[in-house]
Amino acid sequence: MNNPNKKRLRRTMMFLNAQKPGLIKDPYIYKPDSIMLDLEDAVAENQKDAARFSLYHALKTINYRGCERVVRINGLDSPYWKEDIRCSVAGGCDSIRIPKTESAQDVKLVEREIAYAEKEFGRPEGSVLIMAAVESARGVMKALDICESSERLFGIALSGGDYTKDLQTHITGTGIELMGARQNLVIAARAAGVQCFDTVYTDLDNMEGFRQDVETIHLMGFDGKSIINHLVIIHPAGIIQVCISSDPLSSKQLIDQMISVFICLTDLGDNIIRHGNLLRIQRCLYSNLITTGKRCKEKVGFTNGIK
């Protein structure tokens, strides 16, 4: 099995509720590396069935312009996950994200169902990849087993909310409560030669905290970070922050990417992006572009409101 997408670039993975048409119709404008269409926690218990139809047609018809399309299925302790896999594979998803992974066995179960679905819907064997989310103390301790459980597994991700609950603490914003788990996961992932992704940053009003968080996980060796879309307004800034922190050299490609995000945002106007946020993005872009000189300044036209 040799899937060229296994090692692709994944700095940002944007969470989207698969049941909300308004969210899933155009997330590619923010240019995350991956989008994650959620059938699990974001979807109410009585909408699990409807979410699948919405997911299937989104996968079939919407052009996500190169974003990797990951589907988060329901937990293996729920009655939904097998049909979730059939639906996702039939729709043509790139990867499946397993929530609450605690053992290699969990991954193997999902792998088996994916293989059945690939056969049923005529997709090439091995075309669907897997990522495992670790959300418990047990999962963290079994990280290496999980990383080595399947050829299809491209990486593991920490899910901070549930993990800290299991640990009997909570998200503090300092990262202290996540230290051990982050370290353990990234070491396990590197030992197994797979990627490793950090949890979401939930304090949406604290951009400086977010920047530091991204900086920390980047230095620790993480490949990328999950970002949320419950509030659309915060995302674009989030992506830019992640891009900047992941690549201090500000390559041409990166700058171009940021500029196009910025231009998209400006076009969208006040409906989606609060003025304050826009200024914050401008400032953030500016401080990073200043080193790359006139070209970018001219391209974006930074004269307005920026000191």
Partner 1 sequence: MDIVRPAIAGTLESSDCQVTVEKGEGNVDFSMESSVINQYGNQIRKVELETLKNLGVSDVKLTIVDKGALDCTIKARIEAAVYRSVLQTEHLPWGGDIR
Q: Which residues bind partner 1 (CB under 8 A)?
A: 20-22, 25, 48-50, 52-54, 56-58, 60-62, 82-83, 86-87, 90-91, 121
As a whole number of angstroms, the distance between CA 244 and CA 213 comes to: 13
Q: Which is nearer to partner 1, 80 or 154 (CB)?
A: 80
As a whole number of angstroms, the distance between CA 153 and CA 157 comes to: 11
As a whole number of angstroms, the distance between CA 143 and CA 153 comes to: 12
Minimum distance from residue 65 beta carbon to partner 1 (Å): 16
Minimum distance from residue 270 beta carbon to partner 1 (Å): 15
As a whole number of angstroms, the distance between CA 278 and CA 234 comes to: 10
Q: Which is nearer to partner 1, 57 or 252 (CB)?
A: 57
DSSP β-ladder status, 195-198 and 68-72: unpaired
The count of other CB atoms within 10 Å of the CB of residue 171 is 18
SS3 state of residue 10: coil
Q: How far apart are the first and last CA of the chain?
A: 53
Minimum distance from residue 170 beta carbon to partner 1 (Å): 31
Q: Which is nearer to partner 1, 141 or 232 (CB)?
A: 232
Minimum distance from residue 58 beta carbon to partner 1 (Å): 6
Q: Which is nearer to partner 1, 52 or 100 (CB)?
A: 52
Minimum distance from residue 169 beta carbon to partner 1 (Å): 36
Q: Given the structure tokens 């830019």, which residue do they identify?
A: 240
| Helix extents (H) in 14-103 | 21-24, 48-61, 81-91
Minimum distance from residue 54 beta carbon to partner 1 (Å): 4
Q: Which is nearer to partner 1, 48 or 142 (CB)?
A: 48
Burial of 30 (0-12, 13-18, 19+ CB in 10 A): buried
Torsion angle of C-alpha atoms 116, 122, 124, 126, degrees rounded to 10: -20
As a whole number of angstroms, the distance between CA 244 and CA 259 comes to: 12
φ/ψ of residue 68, rounded to 5 = -70, 135
Q: Which is nearer to partner 1, 59 or 107 (CB)?
A: 59
Q: Are the C-beta atoms of 128 and 120 separated by less than 8 Å? A: no
Minimum distance from residue 30 beta carbon to partner 1 (Å): 17
Minimum distance from residue 49 beta carbon to partner 1 (Å): 5
Q: Which is nearer to partner 1, 62 or 137 (CB)?
A: 62
Q: Which is nearer to partner 1, 75 or 209 (CB)?
A: 75
